[in-house]
Chains A and B, each alone.
Chain A
Amino acid sequence: MAEEKFDAIIVGAGPAGVSAAIVLAKAGINAVVLERGEYPGAKNVQGGILYTKMLDEIIPEFWKGTDPAPLERYITEQKIMLLSKDSAIHIGYKSDKWKGEPHNCYSIVRVHFDRWYAKKAESLGAQIYTGVTVRSLIKQNGKICGVKTSEGDELLADVVIACDGVNSILAQSAGLIDEWRPEEVALAVKETLELEKEKIEERFCLDGNEGTTFEMFGKITEGMLGYGFLYTNKETLSLGVGCKVSHFQKTGITPYDLLENMKQHPILKPLIRGTKTVEYSGHLIPEGGYNSMPPLYADGFLVAGDAAQMVNPSHREGSNLAMTAGKLAAETVVEAKNKGDFSSRALSSYQKKLRQSFIMPDLFDHKDLEEEIESRPELLTDLPEIVSQAAYEYFNVDGRSKREVQSAILKRVFRHRAVRNLIKSELTFKNVMGLFKGAVKGAFKFKSLAKGN
């Protein structure tokens, strides 16, 4: 396939790439997807929760019809657990509202999903070549005009869309990013655990195809910034944990030991009792967010999905951002094709589209979150233990009067070095001024809102 010329080359058959391929196929654009895995999904790992809305905009009602997506369970319950070394505080939300279609989100087995999604794209006219690793970009007079594979083949196109994931060779080759810093990515490891369908439903109190999700903070990450997760699939559970690469580097904790220790946690152990590990997996998650995003376009070039750091870790969203970004990138290419202009100026409307979507606002609003948490290490090290101890005393009946117990709890909490440090770090001039500014701004906003009505 040397020296073939396409309108567009998409690198990577993940959610971003396949979404772009579908939009381009529908518009009759001659595009090809190059995937390095033996099959789409072979290299991909996700927790994985898939949000409905964004895929629905690309494949309407993908959950039903003659060829529905391979979904595991629709999620009706979401739980957060704060774990200390031997206890857990649960916060959760379960709703009947999530039983009705369209469901808010589903648990998926990512490889099954990716294979289906790629087939769907092919049935709509997209071309996907698997087993093709792209090594670099071909540039002519500063404009990107194709790709070179690991076998030395050259493929040419008016535009290349890089959807090649967190280890984006292409964004690097285009000179848009350097290597990620260890602070900008998290490393997650996961096990897929087999368990009979009935047992899953009984153990997690699920009705039929309902599913539940757990996000777990505290002791299990050993003071590193990250969290564990447990999701219910049809006949498997997904159990994993992810922390910042820089924290793994600093602590020297090995990811597989972290996962193994988590499996031994007294609160989690009964939840995964009797399961059999059918797969171990590991992947990087780009968590630098807005602050780490590369330029999203160049002459003849667009970047979408993980390759562009489009992940909102605090809401465990990523694949949905990738789908919308892939779609918007493809729409930009369609416009460019109509104008016959693939310059960076013409492609810059991609960025505008992203700003008008939920992607940029979400990434912008969460851009400093991880840094804020990291600047207060007590939140990760001491706080889970303090809160858990307070809960223990509160619920434990030991003959003391409630009055005594409560004042003992408060005393201990507020005398704790970690809590004092936290309070001290919040009581800065900047924060007080910020609070004041916020109040004034809020008051004005409220006034103008009232006028508007």
Chain B
Amino acid sequence: MASVEEKLGTLNFKNDHQSHIAIPDPKICLTQCKDKPCTKVCPAKVYDWVESQKKIVIGYENCIECGAARMICPFNNIKWEPPRGGFGVSYKYG
């Protein structure tokens, strides 16, 4: 069974040095958000809860830019905008 990492390995990315995704208030993830739907709904597993750091770590380099993150956070705590021009994923088939 192919993992999501293997799936993402089929893609071309041109990564910007700055992230196009932000979590404005990391405290909310720790204290209020139990389910953390972002860690499950994101098709590229960009959002990962790291227990040792007690926060969501954002792997923006893997973002396939579907935009689901814009609406899945129950606390509206994900700020997602498209990467700057020319950066991000480039599909070959689409």
Q: Which residues 1-51 of B have a CB within 8 angstroms of A? A: 1-2, 4, 7-8, 10-11, 14, 35, 37, 40-41, 43-45
How far, in whole Å, are A234 and B89 apart by their CA atoms in the complex?
Answer: 24
How far, in whole Å, are A150 and B1 apart by their CA atoms in the complex?
Answer: 39
A279 contacts B82, CB within 8 Å?
A: no
How far, in whole Å, are A39 and B37 apart by their CA atoms in the complex?
Answer: 32
- Residue-wise interface mask of B (71-94) relative to A, using a CB-CB cutoff of 8 A (1 in contact, 0 not): 110000000011111101111111
**A42: B residues at CB distance < 8 A:** 89-91, 94
**B68: A residues at CB distance < 8 A:** 185, 187, 245, 248, 284
Cβ of A79 within 8 Å of any chain B Cβ, yes or no, is: no
Specify which of B43, B45, B84 is in contact with A150 (CB 8 Å cutoff): B84
Specify which of A46, A133, A245, A282 is in contact with B64 (CB 8 Å cutoff): A282
Taking the closest CB of chain B, its distance from the CB of A439, in whole angstroms, is 42
B67 contacts A281, CB within 8 Å?
A: no
Q: Which residue of A lies closest to B83 (CB)?
A: A133
**B61: A residues at CB distance < 8 A:** none
A132 contacts B10, CB within 8 Å?
A: no
Report if A130-B4 is in contact (Cβ < 8 Å); known contacts: A42-B91, A182-B72.
no
**B72: A residues at CB distance < 8 A:** 182, 245, 248-249
B94 contacts A45, CB within 8 Å?
A: yes
B94 contacts A44, CB within 8 Å?
A: yes
Taking the closest CB of chain A, its distance from the CB of B50, in whole angstroms, is 18
B71 contacts A180, CB within 8 Å?
A: yes
Q: Which residues 227-269 of A have a CB within 8 angstroms of B? A: 236, 245, 248-249, 252-256, 260, 264
How far, in whole Å, are A193 and B58 apart by their CA atoms in the complex?
Answer: 29
Q: How many residues of B contact A (CB 8 A)?
A: 36
A260 contacts B85, CB within 8 Å?
A: no
Q: How many residues of A contact B (CB 8 A)?
A: 55
Cβ of A4 within 8 Å of any chain B Cβ, yes or no, is: no
A245 contacts B40, CB within 8 Å?
A: no
A279 contacts B93, CB within 8 Å?
A: yes
- Residue-wise interface mask of A (30-56) relative to B, using a CB-CB cutoff of 8 A (1 in contact, 0 not): 000000111101111110100000000
Q: Of the 9-residue stretches A106-114, A364-372, A423-431, which lies at the interface with chain B? A: A106-114
Taking the closest CB of chain A, its distance from the CB of B64, in whole angstroms, is 5
**B40: A residues at CB distance < 8 A:** 248, 252-254
A111 contacts B94, CB within 8 Å?
A: yes
Cβ of A298 within 8 Å of any chain B Cβ, yes or no, is: no
Q: Which residue of A lies closest to B9 (CB)?
A: A280
- Residue-wise interface mask of B (60-72) relative to A, using a CB-CB cutoff of 8 A (1 in contact, 0 not): 0000111110111
Cβ of A207 within 8 Å of any chain B Cβ, yes or no, is: no
Taking the closest CB of chain A, its distance from the CB of B47, in whole angstroms, is 11
How far, in whole Å, are A225 and B12 apart by their CA atoms in the complex?
Answer: 31
Specify which of A131, A187, A264, A277 is in contact with B7 (CB 8 Å cutoff): A277
Taking the closest CB of chain A, its distance from the CB of B74, in whole angstroms, is 8
Report if A36-B85 is in contact (Cβ < 8 Å); known contacts: A252-B40, A255-B41.
yes
B85 contacts A279, CB within 8 Å?
A: no
How far, in whole Å, are A131 and B68 apart by their CA atoms in the complex?
Answer: 22
B2 contacts A109, CB within 8 Å?
A: no
Taking the closest CB of chain A, its distance from the CB of B28, in whole angstroms, is 17
Q: Which residues 258-298 of A have a CB within 8 angstroms of B? A: 260, 264, 277-284
Cβ of A169 within 8 Å of any chain B Cβ, yes or no, is: yes
B94 contacts A130, CB within 8 Å?
A: no
A39 contacts B43, CB within 8 Å?
A: no
Q: Which residue of B lies closest to A43 (CB)?
A: B65
Report if A185-B71 is in contact (Cβ < 8 Å); known contacts: A169-B81, A255-B43.
yes
Report if A282-B66 is in contact (Cβ < 8 Å); known contacts: A109-B94, A181-B71.
yes
Taking the closest CB of chain B, its distance from the CB of A38, in whole angstroms, is 5
B43 contacts A282, CB within 8 Å?
A: yes
Cβ of A332 within 8 Å of any chain B Cβ, yes or no, is: no
How far, in whole Å, are A132 and B70 apart by their CA atoms in the complex?
Answer: 21
A189-B43, A248-B72 given; name 15 further pairs at CB < 8 Å. Answer: A41-B94, A109-B93, A180-B71, A187-B41, A248-B40, A248-B41, A252-B37, A255-B43, A256-B43, A277-B10, A279-B11, A281-B11, A281-B64, A281-B93, A281-B94
Question: Which 3 pairs from chain A and chain B are nearest by CB?
Answer: A131-B86, A280-B7, A282-B43
Q: List 12 A-B contacts (CB under 8 A).
A: A38-B90, A42-B89, A44-B91, A45-B94, A110-B91, A131-B86, A133-B84, A179-B71, A248-B68, A256-B43, A279-B91, A281-B93
